[in-house]
Structure 1
C-alpha cells in the first residue's frame, strides 16, 4: 500500500472521510441543500482520483449512522449527538489523510482524530455559532462558503473560501420562459415567502410556491403568513423533489429571493441561473456575490424595488445566466477549491488538527 508521503509525491490523490449531516439522505430525495452539495463534491473528488468514504444516514452512503435519516426530529439535539458518536467509532477503523466534516456536533471530536479535519460552515458564523467555531480553533480548518460569510465571521481563523456548486449539466436550460414567477425554499420567516407573494401581486404576476414545511417553525410561519395569501394567483405545490424543482426553475420567468437574513450562500440561486432563469433578490448576505446585477438577475436594496425588477427580468438573456453558473459554480470549480484546502491541511509531517498557520486558500 502506498504511504501518505508516496501519495503526495505521486498523483496527489488523498484518502478522504466525508461526513454528511444526519438529517437527509445523500443525495436528498427532496429538500437538502447541504446533502446535495456533499453528493456532488464526493462524485467530483472520486472523478479526480481521490478515495472518498462517505459517512451519513440512509441510502447512498458508504457507512451509515442511521438506517433511515431522523428527518422528523430536526431540532432535537440527540440525533446529531448520536450521529457524531457513531462517526467517531467509524473513523477509528479508517486510514484517511483528511476528514471533511459537514455536521454540527462532529467537529467536537476533531482534536482526537488521527487526520486533520476540514469543516465547512454552512450556516451562521456569528453569535453562539461564532463562539462555537472559535472554541474549535486549532482543531479544525474552517472553510467559508462565501466571502460575505467570511467577512461576517472576521474573528474566525479561516483556512479558505470555497463557493458551493451544482452539477450544471443536470439542470435543464430553457430559453423561452413562462409568465409566472417562482419562490422555492424553506417556509421560514428568513426566506420571505409572503414578501414574494406581495411583490408578484404588485405587478399582477402569478406566483408558484414550492417549499419545505416539516419543522414547527415552518408550519407556524406557513399558517400565519402564507396560507392566508393563497388563491388569487398564488399556488402552493408542496415540497419539490429533484425533478419538480428542475421543471419549475426552468419554466419560471424569474426566481424571487426576498431574504430577511444574511444568507451565507443560497443554493437555489445558482440552481435557478443554471436553468437560465434570472434571480430577483434583496441584497442580503452573499446575494451580490452570486447574482450579477443586470445580467443574471437583479439585486435590490428595498422590497419596493422588487416588482419593477420582476418585470425587467424578462429582458435578460437566459444564456448569460447559464454561462455564469457554468464558469463560477459548477462542480469542478468547487472540487478544485477543496483540493487546495485539503492539500494545505494534509501536508506530510504536519501535526493533525493544527491549521492556524495555513495561508488563505482562494478559489
Structure 2
C-alpha cells in the first residue's frame, strides 16, 4: 500500500486529534537511541500520513512528523542517568513532573485520544480518573508497577493495551484480556528499501544498542570463529561491556562503525549479506529485524522472544547462545528469492499495517468514553 493509498483509506473515517506521549529517557530524534524512540517517530509519521492531527509530548530535542511539546528540558538519561538513578525517588519525580505537564495539557487540549508510548504506569490510572480514551503500547515485558496498572485496567475498553508480538501476550496474564491486543511495530518501508547488490560480497551486519542483553560480543565471537567480515553499528550503552568484551574482538574484518543514522544506516543494512541479531534476553519485537526484511535482507538470529515470529521463513533461527551454530550460519548465510523478505515486511510490519491496528483501537476507546454528566 502506498502513502497515497494509506491516506485515502484512513480518511474514509474522520481524522482524529491524537496526543502521543513519548518515553523521555532519550529524545525522539535521529540517531535513535533505541527501538522505542524509532517506533515513536514512525508512529507520528504514520498517523500524519493517514491525515490525523498529531501532537507529540516528549523530551526536549525531539523531532518528528508532529507538533512537538517539550515536557522536560532534557531527557532523563542526561539529567539522571538510568544506570545510576534507576528506582530512585529522584528519577521517579523527574518523570512524574514531566508527564504531569503533558497530562495537564492533554486534559485541556481537546484531543480525541491519547497514545501512551511510555513506561510510566500512572498515566493508565490518570486516563480512567479523567475519562480520557488512551491506548498504551507495551514495548517491554511487564515490571512491577506496570503489571499492577495493567491488571487494574483489565477489560476496560477505555484503556486498550497493545503488545508487539504474540510472544508477549502470556507474560501479562494467564488468561485472555479483552483489552490486550497484538499490533506489530511498523516501519516506513519507503525508507527501508532494497538497493542494488554490490559485486563484491559485502560484510554481515549487526545493529543495535551495544549492551550485554543485545549479545554484541557473541556476534563478534561467531564472526571470528567463522572467519567472516562483520560490521557493527549502534550506540554504546554500556561502556564497560564495550571496553571489556566487545572492543578486544574488533579487528580489520570485524569493525565498529559508530552510531549511524538516516541514510548511512540504511545503506549499510540494505547492502549487507545478512543481518545478525543476537539477543541475550527475550526480545519483545526486534525492530532491526523488520528493517532488514524491508530491505530484502535475510536475518540470522538467536531464537529468543519474538525473533522467530518476526523473521519467519526469511532467515535462519539459531538456538539462543549457541555461538558455534551462529558461526556456521554466518559462514553460509541464507539465500532468499528476490522480494521474499520485502513482501513479509510490507504485509506485517509496514506503517499502514500498524496504523490500521492502532486506529481501530483508538475508535473503540473513544466510543467507550462515558459522556460527562450535565448539572442542571
With the shorter chain as reference, the TM-score category is: 0.7 to 0.9
- Alignment RMSD: 2.4
Give the aligned partner of residue 348 of structure 2. 328
Q: 2:94 aligns with which of 42, 60, 79?
A: 79
Does the 8 Å contact 2:206/2:277 carry over to 1?
Answer: yes
Q: 2:328 aligns with which of 308, 311, 314?
A: 308
Shift of 1:108: 4.4
Stretches of structure 2 that go unaligned for 5 or more consecutive residues are 1-11, 86-90
SS at 1:130 equivalent: helix
Give the aligned partner of residue 181 of structure 1. 204
SS at 1:101 equivalent: strand
Give the aligned partner of residue 228 of structure 2. 205
Shift of 1:249: 0.5
Number of aligned residue pairs: give it: 338
Deviates more, 1:165-174 or 1:57-66: 57-66
Give the aligned partner of residue 6 of structure 2. none
For residues 188-225 of structure 1, what are the alpha-carbon distances to aligned partners after superposition, in whole Å with 9 as ceiling and x for unaligned?
A: 211100110111112110111112124xxx11221221
Give the aligned partner of residue 297 of structure 1. 315
For residues 51-73 of structure 1, what are the alpha-carbon distances to aligned partners after superposition, in whole Å with 9 as ceiling and x for unaligned?
A: 22221122434321134434423
Deviates more, 1:303-312 or 1:218-227: 303-312
Task: Specify whether residues 128 and 176 from structure 1 end up closer, same or farther in structure 2 by C-alpha distance, changes over 3 A only.
Answer: same
Shift of 1:313: 2.1
Task: Specify whether residues 314 and 198 from structure 1 end up closer, same or farther in structure 2 by C-alpha distance, changes over 3 A only.
Answer: same
Task: Specify whether residues 171 and 148 from structure 1 end up closer, same or farther in structure 2 by C-alpha distance, changes over 3 A only.
Answer: same
Give the aligned partner of residue 62 of structure 1. 68
Task: Specify whether residues 284 and 129 from structure 1 end up closer, same or farther in structure 2 by C-alpha distance, changes over 3 A only.
Answer: farther
Deviates more, 1:68-77 or 1:181-190: 68-77
Q: 2:111 aligns with which of 67, 73, 96?
A: 96
Shift of 1:85: 1.6
Shift of 1:93: 1.9
Stretches of structure 1 that go unaligned for 5 or more consecutive residues are 1-9, 353-363
Give the aligned partner of residue 8 of structure 2. none
Does the 8 Å contact 2:124/2:149 carry over to 1?
Answer: no
Give the aligned partner of residue 168 of structure 1. 189
Does the 8 Å contact 2:234/2:260 carry over to 1?
Answer: yes
Equivalences for residues 185-196 of structure 1 within 5 A: 185-196=208-219
Deviates more, 1:177-186 or 1:328-337: 177-186
Does the 8 Å contact 1:23/1:71 carry over to 2?
Answer: yes
* Distance of 1:349 and 1:292 partners within structure 2: 38
Does the 8 Å contact 1:21/1:102 carry over to 2?
Answer: yes
Counterpart check, 1:120 vs 2:140: no
* Distance of 1:351 and 1:161 partners within structure 2: 28
Deviates more, 1:97-106 or 1:308-317: 308-317
How does the TM-score come out when normalised to structure 1? 0.85
Give the aligned partner of residue 51 of structure 1. 53
Higher relative contact order (CA 8 A, sep 6+): 1
Task: Specify whether residues 351 and 223 from structure 1 end up closer, same or farther in structure 2 by C-alpha distance, changes over 3 A only.
Answer: farther
SS at 2:263 equivalent: helix
Shift of 1:45: 2.0
Q: 1:277 aligns with which of 297, 302, 311?
A: 297
